[in-house]
A and B are shown apart, each in its own frame.
Chain A
Amino acid sequence: MLEVFIFATLNGLVTGLLLFMLASGLTLIFSMMGVLNFAHASFYMLGAYFAYSISLYFGFWSGLIFAPIIVGVLGALVERYGLRRVHQQGHVAELVFTFGLAFLIEEAVQFFWGADTKNYQSPDLLDFPLFTLFGQEFPAYRGFMIGISVAIFIGLYYVLTKSRIGIIIQAAITHPHTVSNLGHNVPLIFMGVFGVGSALAGVAGVIAGPVLTTFPGMAVVLGSIVFVIVVIGGLGSLAGAFIASILIGLLQSYAIASNLGMPDLLNLLGLEFGRDHPLTDLWTLTLPQIAPILPFLLLVLVLIFRPTGLMGKREQ
C-alpha cells in the first residue's frame, strides 16, 4: 500500500509540475490581456513536434533549447498579427480566434508530420533508474522533468518579482496606461509575454513528448485540463494555478492507482445489486474509470460554488 502511495505521489507530482508549466504561461497571458488562450496547449504540441524533428538530426538537447525558441517566436507572431487585430472586437472574438487557431494547428501538424504517433525518445543519457524503492524503479527522466520544471519556476518567480523587466510587466498588468505614459512600449511587452508564455508551453511539450507520446491529439488531451486548472486556481492567479496543478496531478494519479470503487462502497453499506440491474454501470463504477472526468467535475463544482476559483480576486 505504501509503495503504491509513494509512486502515485511522485507521478502525480510530475504531472502536476508539467501542468503548471502550461498553466503558468496561460495565467500570465490571461492576466495581461484578459483572454484565455485556447491554443496554448497547441503550442505545447508544437514544442514536442519541433523537438522531435530537431532531435532526429541534432539530438534531444538541441531540441530542448531550440524548439521552445521557435514556438516562442511563433507565439509572438500570433499575438502581433492575429490577436491584436481581433482585440478590438472584444473577448468573445478573441476566444473564438484562439479556438480556431487550436483547430488549425492540429490540422497543420497532421499536414506536416502526419497523423501517426511519432517515435520521440528520451535521451540515452537519462535512461537509467534514479532510485529503486520496494523493488520498483523510478526513471531518471521523470526526475529530470521535476528538476527542469522546478528550475523554470524559480527562474520565472525571480524574473517576475526581482528584475526590472518583471516589475514593468507586473505594472503593465494592472496599470497599462500609466506604464505606457512612463515611456514603455506596452504592446511590445504584451507580445513578449505572449511569446514567453508560448515558449514555456513549448518547453513543457519538449520534455513531455517522450513520456506522454507525441501525436496530433496531444493538445486536446492536455488542453482542456490546463483550462480547468487555470479556472480552478482562480483566473490570473499564479499561486492558485500552482496549487490547482499539483492538486489535479495528485488527484488523477491517486484515482488511477487506487482500486476502490462503487462495489467497495456498496459492501460497506451492506447493499447488493444484481448484474442485470438497470443502473449496473453505476454500481460497478471504479475510481480509475472516472479519473479522466474528475478535473471537469471539480471545475463545474468550483464554478458553481466559488466562481472566482481558489485564489482568484473578487470580480469587479
Chain B
Amino acid sequence: MALVKKSALWIAYLLALLSLPQFFDSVLAISIFNQMAIAIVFALSYNMLLGQGGMLSFGHAVYFGLGGFLAVHALIMIEFETVYFSIIWIPLVGGFIGLLAALFIGTFSTHKAGTVFAMISLGIGELIAASSLIFVSFFGGEAGVSGDRTFGPPFFGVEWFQNVEIYYLAVAWVFIATLFMYLFTQTPAGKMANAVRDNPERAEFIGYSARRVRYITFCAAGLFAGVAGGLFALNYEFITEENLNAATSGRVLLSAYIGGLGYFIGPIVGAVILTLMNSLLSNYSDLWMLYLGIMFLLTVLFLPRGFAGFIMMHQVAWIRGTMKQLIVPYLLSGIPAVVFVMSSIALIELSHTEDAEFYYLGLTFDSNGAMDFGLIALVAIGALVCVRKSLPQLKAAWESANEVIDETGESES
C-alpha cells in the first residue's frame, strides 16, 4: 500500500514537471523552468551532503562547475567531431567528472565533519576558483568557454534549437536524478549517513567507519552536482569561472537552507523560491539580494528547519484535526505581518529610488516628500504592534492544539 502511494506521488511529480510548459509557454517561463531544473538537482545534491550527511560545505560549486566545464568541452568535441554521441548524455559527462573530483577530494576532506570539513571545502573552493582564472586554456579565463548544443546526432529528429526541447530533456534528467537521490536515502548507506551525522561515535561502535560513510555520501553528492553542471552547460551553452566560485556555493547553501534541510522536498522548495526571486524579483527591484539576505537570516533564526519544516510542523495538528483552531490566530497575526513586510519593503525602496515618483502596489508615492515616508512608516509600526499583540494568542492556540494530542496520545497508549 505504501509503495503504491509513493509511486503515485512520483508519477504526479513527473506529470507536474511535464505539464508545466502547457500552462506557461512564454520564452521567459521556459527559461525560468530550465533554471529551476538545474537548481533543483544542485540543491538536492547539496542537501545530500548537509542534510543527510551533516557535512557543511562552502565549496560545493566546485563539482557543479567542473562538471559544467567538462560538459561544455564535450559539446565542443562533438562540434569538431572528435567524439560522436547525442547531447542527451552530456549530463552524464558532467556527473562523471563531478564524481571523479569528489572521489579525489573526498579522500582527504572527509576525515572529519563539522568545522574542519567546512574549512577544507572553503579552501578547495577558493583554490579551484582562483586556479580557474590562471589556467586560461581550459577554463577560458573571465570570459569562460562556450559551445553549441545543436551539433551531434539528432535525437528522434530533435536538434535542440529551442529551449523547450531542452526543458523536456532536463525534466527527464531531473526526474532520474531526484528518483536516484531519493532511493539513495533509502539504502543502508543513506541510512548510515544519517547515523554518522547524528552520532559518529556510536556509528563507529556498531562497526561502521564514519569516514567511509561520509566518503560515499560525499561522492554521491559530487556526482549529482556534476549532473546539475552538465544540465547548466546544455541550457546556457557556456560556463564561466563564476559558476564554480564561492558565490555559487553560497547560493546553493541558501536555497537548501531556506527550503528546509533534512526534508527531501525542502531543497526543491528552496530551489524554486530562489529561482523565482532571482528571475522575477530582480526585474522589479535591484535590491532583491538584500531581501534574500534578510529572508535567509530570518529563516535561520526563526525557522531552523526551513519552509518544509514549517509545513511539517503542522503534521500532528493536521492528523488530529485541530488545524481549524489555528486558522483564526494565524490570520490575526499573519495579516498584520504581511502588512508590516510590505510596508517595510516600501520604505526601503522609497529611500533607495532615484526617480521623483515611486509606484508600489498600484499607488504612487512622492520620493522626496517626508509626508509619504512618514505615512508608510506609521503603517509599518502599527502593523508591528498588531503582530506583537496577537502573538501570545497564537502561541496559546498552538499549545492548545498540541495539548489535546498529548492527552489523547497518552490515553491510547
Contact = CB atoms under 8 A, between A and B. Distances in A.
Interface of A: 36, 82, 85-86, 89, 91-93, 95-97, 99-101, 103-104, 106-108, 110-111, 220, 224, 227-228, 231, 235, 278, 280-282, 285, 289-290, 292-293, 296-297, 299-300, 303-304, 307
Given A96-B253, A104-B293, A282-B135, A297 B127 contact: yes
Contacts of B382: none
Contacts of A101: 297
B300 interface: yes
Interface stretch (B79-87, B117-125, B174-182): B117-125
B197 to A, nearest CB: 10
A85 B123 CA distance: 29
Contacts of B124: 296, 300
29 contacts: A91-B115, A92-B50, A93-B300, A95-B56, A95-B118, A96-B56, A97-B297, A100-B297, A100-B300, A103-B254, A104-B293, A107-B290, A110-B290, A111-B290, A224-B126, A227-B119, A227-B122, A231-B119, A235-B115, A281-B134, A281-B136, A292-B130, A293-B126, A293-B130, A296-B124, A300-B123, A300-B127, A303-B120, A307-B111
Given A111-B287, A303-B123, A86 B137 contact: no
Interface of B: 50, 54, 56, 58, 108, 111-112, 114-116, 118-120, 122-124, 126-127, 130-131, 134-138, 246, 250, 253-254, 257, 287, 289-290, 292-294, 296-297, 300-301, 304, 348, 352
B127 A100 contact: no
A287 to B, nearest CB: 12
Contacts of A110: 290
A244 B108 CA distance: 22
Contacts of B111: 307
Contacts of B287: 107, 111
Contacts of A85: 301
Contact of A296 (B50, B108, B130, B352): B130
A100 B296 contact: yes
B297 A278 contact: no
A240 to B, nearest CB: 14
A106 B246 CA distance: 14
B130 A104 contact: no
B300 A296 contact: no
A60 B112 CA distance: 46
A86 B303 CA distance: 11
A198 B72 CA distance: 44
